[in-house]
Structure 1
């Protein structure tokens, strides 16, 4: 089961985003960029990646948290599917408020 409160705490402790890869300035160790050095073997060498400990925890946990969050959203979407323009879960016109909320940006 996904621990939403744990994920929220990690996200709130991490440096605010958006984070980006500044490929042109990866040697600038004084810059406040989250950057990764390209490597010849197709991998990314993270020796130049500058992060706070809180950011490391967020990045590491994201590998399992993101798939869990996606799966949770997919389960909710599966419950709220249309049949003859009506949501089969809540018997409202499709898209129902649940789907509208999930799709809001």
Structure 2
């Protein structure tokens, strides 16, 4: 069990997936969307081992997000047109498997 000063499981999940949290948690965990929503809301208890796995992903995600933001700022400063920049990000993202073909957590 986590200390009351630790983030709630739903906060951890939202930190990992700020957009469409339930959808992505459902895929990551291999559970129905309704079950994911219950975990996020705190209605269902998140097993400690699972919570630890999720918590272990938060800092690498923050670091990755910072690296992407830095790369975007550098590209903008170099004069890359926003539409071209956006397309470059979409092209890179399209080569990453969406997780539906991976084993759930």
Work out whether the TM-score is over 0.5. Answer: no
TM-score (norm 1): 0.39
TM-score (norm 2): 0.39
**Bigger share in strand:** 1
Instruction: Decide which structure has the larger Cα Rg and report it.
Output: 1
Which protein, 1 or 2, shows the higher relative CO under an 8 Å CA cutoff with sep ≥ 6?
2
